[in-house]
Structure 1
Amino acid sequence: MNSRVPLVSATDAPAGSRALLDAVHGAFATTPNMFRVVANSPAALQAMWGFFGALGGGAIPARLGEQIAVAVADRNGCDYCLAAHTALGRKAGASAAEMSAAQAGESADPATAAALRFALELIGQRGQVGDADVAALRAAGFGDGQIVEILAQVALNLFTNYVNIAFATPVDFPAVKLRSAA
């Protein structure tokens, strides 16, 4: 399947996207197709890359961020993000079994399980969570900053899921089978 918008490279991208695509390439040793799609808009690429960078330096460990990403991707039916974040989760130290469980919104670790439940509740309720949902995260050991970052991880992954689903971005990571139908 072809992408619904062009996959641009650092040589044919708008001028405002070229340096960012070089940074993406430097981080991944390749330029994933998702970034090549988003690079059609320098503003969108700057927003996405900045969002990844900011959360990468946050209080939520990369492993948990990737587990949240696969849960969100599976819930939204995003093949691209499921494949990408499964690979990134493995690089962040999660086992294949942990990533598969996260895809279903599950974890043997109580804190991770609480974060995944909250992430999926945010999606299912379109942000309309209640006091008990936030209290469950606090009870699992998350502080207020971490709770905000869990929501930010969900928001970033909604952005990337929608990009890849809407524009039919060709998957360039090892494929992972979706568990749920979007």
Structure 2
Amino acid sequence: MSTLPVYTESNAPSEESQELLSQVKKKYGFIPNLLGEFAASHPVLQAYMQLGENLSKTSLTPLEQQLLLVTISRDNNCTYCVAAHTAVAVGSKLDQEPINAVREGRLPSHPKLQALVRFAEQVVGERGWVSQDQVQAFIDAGYSEANVLDVVLAASMKTLSNYTNHIFETPVDANFQPFAWKK
């Protein structure tokens, strides 16, 4: 087992990481373990936070964003991120049916959300080598070419966090424990 220290705003190795962790604590009321680990490398912590900020600026709804993040994390078998993004969805009072469906390995009941989940699964499962038919099916479901890129953005964000969690076996925070998930 590899481990990485879970830094706080007072002991992170750089002033830049300390400042970012202070912002995280202000925003969420605590520092998630993953972000505390990311603080070992200020550029990684900053990149992850920026990816999340950029995803929030897309035309995807908050539910679609969290659904993407849960789907990709589930497909990457990341127990930490499935729990964390489920907690975010619950805390944001988002519709839990699609989130629970994905956690259980099912498609959501809404056809447009089904298309989002399918496309995310295809992007991750095929390492981006999706066919034009798959892209067109996603667009035909009501999404745009920009949303194709938004899915890639979410996959990039989750690759960074999912792989880090796998390598360092990030412990699931107490705040996320009620949403613990196993494949």
What TM-score, normalized by structure 2, do the two folds share?
0.91
| AA in 2 matched with 1:96 | Q
Structure 2 unpaired stretches of 5+ = none
Partners in 2 of 1:85 and 1:157 — Cα distance? Answer: 11
1:128 corresponding residue in structure 2: 129
Q: Is the 8 A contact 2:7 2:39 kept in 1?
A: yes
CA RMSD after TM alignment: 1.6
Please identify, of 105-114 and 78-87, the stretch whose mean Cα deviation from structure 2 is larger.
Answer: 105-114
Q: Is the 8 A contact 1:24 1:31 kept in 2?
A: yes
Q: Is the 8 A contact 1:105 1:117 kept in 2?
A: no
2:63 corresponding residue in structure 1: 63
Partners in 1 of 2:95 and 2:61 — Cα distance? Answer: 15
Structure 1 unpaired stretches of 5+ = none
2:102 corresponding residue in structure 1: 102
Q: 1:3 to 1:33 in 2, by over 3 A?
A: farther
| AA in 2 matched with 1:91 | G
Once the two structures are superposed, the pairs formed by residues 42-81 of structure 1 within 5 Å of their partners are 42-81=42-81
- Runs (4 or more) in structure 1 with deviation over 6 Å come to none
Structure 1 residue 176: deviation in Å?
A: 2.4
Partners in 1 of 2:92 and 2:106 — Cα distance? Answer: 18
| AA in 1 matched with 2:5 | P
| AA in 1 matched with 2:146 | G
1:113 corresponding residue in structure 2: 114
Structure 1 residue 95: deviation in Å?
A: 3.5
What TM-score, normalized by structure 1, do the two folds share?
0.91
Q: 1:87 to 1:3 in 2, by over 3 A?
A: farther
Partners in 2 of 1:93 and 1:31 — Cα distance? Answer: 21
What is the percentage of aligned positions where both structures have the same residue? 27
1:9 corresponding residue in structure 2: 8
